[in-house]
């Protein structure tokens, strides 16, 4: 629950303006239910927006400066709209700066300066897309206040582009897309090649999604992530012997892959590619079983997804594997897997509501004993994508 009154007071303390000019926007974090490391391979993903995220308060300034402050970090910055550049020392403010840079690339020059205060409820570095939510809320707020048209698919694309080109993280489209286009109680089936998407009501009845944060910082995530991407590209090159037009692994069916996997000589690269093609197939299977309200089968697909990320794609690690294994031991758990990039971060489990207390106690205990880290758990509802906030939220 965000206390808007308190945030407005903080805004006024930081910038000294009066309350009447302050506008408020919100973008959620996201959890991916299945379809991991498929987005940059042109495959499908199945994420959902969370009910918590980043709230942005902003008001216009008389000059052409942008001021950034956060309730989460002490670092503040004031920059000129013209000549925005990436600077390592600017830390988190590189995300909103990247959006201003991106808008300028698209011919959208801000007509005035802004004071901005960010308030994040997403644990930082937990793989729940705190950076995507900062990017998307900034783009949405600035476009709204500048009176420009709002297209949330385009906002996702521009935000991803800013993260790739300005911040220098080579992520796919999933996070920004989910944060920009999520709808309460729905997951998003997104084809990352065409960006066609479908909102799928996520009716889990007596079962709840429970996020487990390993609180293991995702060390080396960028370099390992880029290594996986490069391996997928290598696999495509080998498979082009059979499919000269192939540009992305997601363009192959499982049958086509199975018949031609031998063309990939490197065993590690072959395993990476197998994960991607099988994971895309699991997303398709998930749609069939969820359509039949068969949560049992969906849980099994979640488990298979994690096992493949552990054994074939190798992006889990001891913390995620321990937490997932402990989760699966608790009666009333239909499935459990890592979510996001991996290498630490969070798990997501489908847990019967009557088992949630036991789940949190048991998994917490086993995990803490095995790793020495204290985990955190969030029973999560699915929320809306980016929007302007008029009332207390
Ligand atoms: C991170 C990236 C996404 C996606 C996932 C893995 O969250 O930002 O684009 O690749 O990892 O599915």
Mutation choice for ligand 1 from 30, 40, 44, 171, CB with most ligand atoms inside 8 A = 171
Quick one: tokens of 198?
């479908």
CA dist 48 and 200 (Å) reads: 10
Q: What is the separation, in whole angstroms, between the first and last Cα of the chain?
A: 6
Task: Say if ligand 1 is within 6 A of residue 171 CB.
Answer: yes
CA dist 30 and 14 (Å) reads: 29
pLDDT confidence of residue 17: 77
User: Over the chain (393 residues), what is each successive 10-residue block's mean pLDDT?
Assistant: 91 89 97 98 98 97 97 96 95 97 97 98 91 98 97 98 95 98 98 98 95 85 90 98 98 98 98 98 98 97 99 97 98 98 96 98 98 96 96 57
Q: What number does the ligand 1 atom closest to the CA of 129 have?
A: 7
Q: Give, in degrees to the nearest 5, the angle at Cα 338 between 163 and 154.
A: 30
pLDDT confidence of residue 19: 80
pLDDT confidence of residue 18: 78
pLDDT confidence of residue 344: 93
pLDDT confidence of residue 202: 94
Quick one: tokens of 126?
């937990």
Is the pTM higher than 0.85? yes
Task: Say if ligand 1 is within 6 A of residue 46 CB.
Answer: no
**Could you give the strand order of the β-sheet that contains 346-352, starting from the edge strand earlier in sequence?**
333-339, 346-352, 207-213, 376-380
Partners of residue 388 on adjacent β-strands: 25
Query: H or E element: which one contains 52?
Result: strand 47-61
Mutation choice for ligand 1 from 174, 188, 225, 346, CB with most ligand atoms inside 8 A = 174
List the residue whose alpha carbon is closest to atom 2 of ligand 1. 171
Active site members:
175
Please report the domains of the chain, with CATH numbers, ordered by start residue.
4-201+383-388 (3.30.230.10), 207-380 (3.30.70.890)
Q: Which is it for strands 23-32 and 44-45: parallel, antiparallel or unpaired?
A: unpaired
Partners of residue 347 on adjacent β-strands: 212, 338
Of the candidates 107, 102, 165, the one whose C-alpha atom is nearest the C-alpha of residue 138 is: 102
Quick one: tokens of 280?
């895309």
Residue 23 Cα, ligand 1 centroid: separation in angstroms? Answer: 31
Residue 172 Cα, ligand 1 centroid: separation in angstroms? Answer: 6
Task: Say if ligand 1 is within 6 A of residue 340 CB.
Answer: yes
pLDDT confidence of residue 219: 63
Of the candidates 109, 225, 89, the one whose C-alpha atom is nearest the C-alpha of residue 164 is: 225
CA dist 173 and 177 (Å) reads: 6
Alpha helices in the chain (DSSP H): 4-15, 94-105, 130-145, 152-162, 174-181, 221-239, 254-260, 267-291, 295-311, 318-329, 356-371
What Rg value do the Cα atoms of the chain yield, rounded? 21
CA dist 84 and 312 (Å) reads: 41
* 3-class DSSP state of 1: coil
pLDDT confidence of residue 223: 86
């Amino acid at each position: 629950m965000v206390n808007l009154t308190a945030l407005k007071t903080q805004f006024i303390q930081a910038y000294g303006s009066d309350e009447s000019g302050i506008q408020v926007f919100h973008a959620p974090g996201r959890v991916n239910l299945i379809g991991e490391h498929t987005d940059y391979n042109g495959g499908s993903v199945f994420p959902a927006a969370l009910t918590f995220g980043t709230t942005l308060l902003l008001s216009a300034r008389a000059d052409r400066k942008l001021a950034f402050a956060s309730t989460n970090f002490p670092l503040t910055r004031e920059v000129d709209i013209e000549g925005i550049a990436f600077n390592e020392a600017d830390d988190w403010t590189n995300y909103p700066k990247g959006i201003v840079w991106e808008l300028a690339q698209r011919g959208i020059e801000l007509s005035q300066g802004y004071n901005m205060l960010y308030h994040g409820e997403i644990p930082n570095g937990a793989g729940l897309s705190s950076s995507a939510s900062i990017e998307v809320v900034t783009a949405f707020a600035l476009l709204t206040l500048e009176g420009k048209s709002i297209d949330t698919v385009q906002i996702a694309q521009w935000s991803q582009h800013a993260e790739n080109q300005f911040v220098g993280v080579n992520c796919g489209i999933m996070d920004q897309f989910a944060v920009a286009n999520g709808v309460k109680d729905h997951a998003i089936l997104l084809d990352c090649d065409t960006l066609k998407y479908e909102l799928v009501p996520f009716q889990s009845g007596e079962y709840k999604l429970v996020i487990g944060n390993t609180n293991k910082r995702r060390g080396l995530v960028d370099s390992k992530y880029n290594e996986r991407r490069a391996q997928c590209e290598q696999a495509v090159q080998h498979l082009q012997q059979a499919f000269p037009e192939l540009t992305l692994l997601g363009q192959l069916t499982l049958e086509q892959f199975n018949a031609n996997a031998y063309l990939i000589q490197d065993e590690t690269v072959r395993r990476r590619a197998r994960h991607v093609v099988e994971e895309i197939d699991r997303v398709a299977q998930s749609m069939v079983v969820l359509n039949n309200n068969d949560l049992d089968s969906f849980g099994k697909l979640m488990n298979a997804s994690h096992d493949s990320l552990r054994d074939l794609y190798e992006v889990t690690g001891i913390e995620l594997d321990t937490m997932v294994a402990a989760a699966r031991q608790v009666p009333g758990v239909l499935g459990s897997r890592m979510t996001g990039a991996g290498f630490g971060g969070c798990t997501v489990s489908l847990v019967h509501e009557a088992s949630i207390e036991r789940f949190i106690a048991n998994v917490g205990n086993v995990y803490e004993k095995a790793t020495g880290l204290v985990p955190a758990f969030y029973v999560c509802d699915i929320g809306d994508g980016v929007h302007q906030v008029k009332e207390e939220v």
